[in-house]
Amino acid sequence: MKSYFKPITRRKFLKKGVTGGAVMATLPVWKLFSFSSPPSDFYVNPAVNLSKETLEKLIEIGLQKGGEFTEVYVEYNVGNRISLEENKIYGAGRGVDMGVGIRVLHGEKTGYAYCDDLSFDKLKQTAEIASYIAAEKEMRKPVGLKSSKVPSYYMVKVSPDTIVPQDKAKLLWKANSVGRDYDKKVNQVNVGFSDINKKIIIANSAGNWVEDVQTISRLIVSISAIEGDKRSRGYAYKGGTLGYENYDLKVAEELAKDAGRMAMAMLPAEDAPAGEYPIVMAKGHCGTFFHEAIGHSLESDGIRKKTSCFWDKKEKMIASEITSLADDGTVPGARGTINVDDEGTPAQNTVLIKNGKCINFIFDRLNAGLMKEKLTGNGRRESYQHYPLPRMTNTYLMAGKDDPEDIVKSVKKGIYISRIGGGNVTSVTGRFVFSVPEGYLIENGKVTKPLKGIQLMGSGPEVLKNIVMVGPDLEIWGGGTCGKSGQAKPCSDGNPTLKVSKITIGGAKV
């Protein structure tokens, strides 16, 4: 499940800060605003480091009870957030978290322990606790650590963590004024900027040793409009593994205009009809559908445990011949992009469905090992307090050959989805319900009236077979935070313009 543009309230953020870790500290607004220079604990904190000897020692301790594999994950994490609501800076905060997670694998079993204290005694204890998952007489010998360079897919020149809140606030004020001036029916503008900055070190008993510095940032504008008893909302955002050089007043202005456009377009929306209709999805803004309704069912834990509807579908046709789907952690600057995953495996582009055939799944180390498959760079965790799971990065429907204009023209009566909203999916059956924050009627090959209350209902496997046209105009856009087994992780998605021959619409009156 992904949440996209819910601007987090200050209260929620503070709460998250406190529960985020034992050493998480969130400064109150007044204190934050007293900074006149970049915070001194800038995220690339040289103090957060473990020597090769310490890492090797911890790996050895992790293996002492006969475990098959041990991994040490070190994380230093700084998050910043500032938001504007009701014409004032509504909240701002900074959270710092740090810790080490040690994992031991033994068959299907995982031993995991973490601590937020980098003293050797505490780390040793942590490794010992993780080691108890195994109880063998023989201890395996770790391979000596060899440091390897990571690739670079991030677009970061200026870390947003070095920018004082006063400067970030200028973007928020700009979006606020442009949004409010957009139309006199605009009654509310919310703007938020957030960034997460992480340094991670991963070392394991197979000898891999990598370090990565990750930055994720996002500027979101949400605009509400009102006219009589009609209400609407528009939103727009820019985000990704992006440095602060990617944001300026012009970007804030464009986002505010786009959010305003959507709010005004949806204000006169009529109730959506119910029934079965052909659907056209707009490029770039409907990738969440593929993430939720298909991607989760291709994650290898569900495949191995046979809880996914695709568990026995490897090398079988599961989609129409023009349908191909990929998960690609290497898209420059995208929100789900990683240089290495949280197990130290380099990110890669993995084709999951090729011309309708299911050819691969999304793997972390545990499931790849048990299923005797290759790693795909999808072992991801929320923080040092969590062990990795197979998770998506940037998931997208691959480009096809149909002209986007022809795609719309081919529909006599149907629904055009400009932006897809949140969804609810059961991965066992693939059944889904999605809301549609921006959608229109298609009549005789033309996009006409705006519709509200569109609900897409059906099953992922069914939709895959009903994809009948795919455009060449693939766009990977924005993204959100995916939740799985209680772990939140940033990811992105995308799609070209496409047509599904039929999906059930639970209309506004249902």
Residues lying near Zn ion in the complex (CB under 5 A) are found at 2, 482
C-alpha–C-alpha distance, residues 106 and 205, integer Å: 13
Which lies closer to Zn ion via its Cβ, residue 159 or residue 395?
395
Q: Return the number of the residue (289 or 440) whose C-beta is nearest Zn ion.
A: 289
Q: Pick between residue 4 and residue 33 the one whose CB is nearest to Zn ion.
A: 4
Provide the minimum distance between the beta carbon of 331 and Zn ion in the complex, in angstroms, as a whole number: 17
Nearer Cβ to Zn ion (62/240): 240
State the minimum distance, in angstroms, from the CB of residue 345 to Zn ion.
20
In terms of CB distance, is 161 or 341 closer to Zn ion? 341
Q: Do 337 and 329 contact (CB within 8 A), yes or no? A: yes
User: Contacts for 13-16 with beta carbons within 8 Å, 24 or more apart?
Assistant: 13/81, 13/91, 13/93, 14/93, 16/95
The H or E element that residue 208 is part of is strand 208-227
Rounded to an integer, what distance in angstroms lies between the CA atom of residue 133 and that of residue 111? 5
Q: Which is nearer to Zn ion, 251 or 433 (CB)?
A: 433
From the CB of residue 34, how many other CB atoms can be counted at a distance below 10 Å? 9
Tokens 């001194």 -> residue: 40
How far, in Å, CA of 390 to CA of 295, rounded? 11
Q: Which amino acid is at 316?
A: K
Q: Which residue has the tokens 């006409």?
A: 448
Beta carbon of residue 1, minimum distance to Zn ion (angstroms, whole number):
6
Strands 146-147 and 208-227, by their bridges, are: parallel
Nearer CB in complex with Zn ion: 49/435: 435
We find the least distance from the C-beta atom of residue 372 to Zn ion, in angstroms, to be 26
Give, for 96, the enclosing helix (H) or strand (E). strand 88-106
From the CB of 394, what's the least distance to Zn ion, in Å? 12
In the bound state with Zn ion, the residue whose beta carbon lies nearer, of 2 and 106, is 2
Minimum CB distance to Zn ion, residue 262 (Å):
23
Do 369 and 105 touch, CB atoms closer than 8 A? Answer: yes
Residue 387 CB, nearest approach to Zn ion (Å): 18
Identity at 145, one-letter amino acid code: L
Min CB(295)–Zn ion separation in Å: 7
Helix residue spans in 63-159 (DSSP H):
120-131
Instruction: Report the residue number, 6 or 357, with the smaller CB distance to Zn ion.
Output: 6
Q: What residue type is assigned to position 9 of the chain?
A: T
Nearest distance from residue 392's CB to Zn ion, in Å? 7
Q: How far is CA 48 from CA 127, 199, 326, in A?
A: 18, 8, 35
CB-nearest residue to Zn ion: 482
| Min separation Cβ 370 and Zn ion, Å | 23
Q: What is the chain's Cα-based Rg?
A: 24
Residues 6+ apart with CB under 8 A from 119: none
Q: Least distance from C-beta 2 to Zn ion, angstroms? A: 5
Reading the block at residue 368, the tokens are 């790849």
Distances (CA, A) of 116 to 40, 100, 384: 20, 6, 9
Q: Taking CA 212 as the corner, what is the angle to CA 332 and CA 67, rounded to the nearest 5 degrees? A: 120
Closer Cβ to Zn ion, 269 or 482, answer by number: 482
Phi/psi for 417 (5° steps) reads: -105, 110
The smaller minimum CB distance to Zn ion, of residues 191 and 293, is found at 293
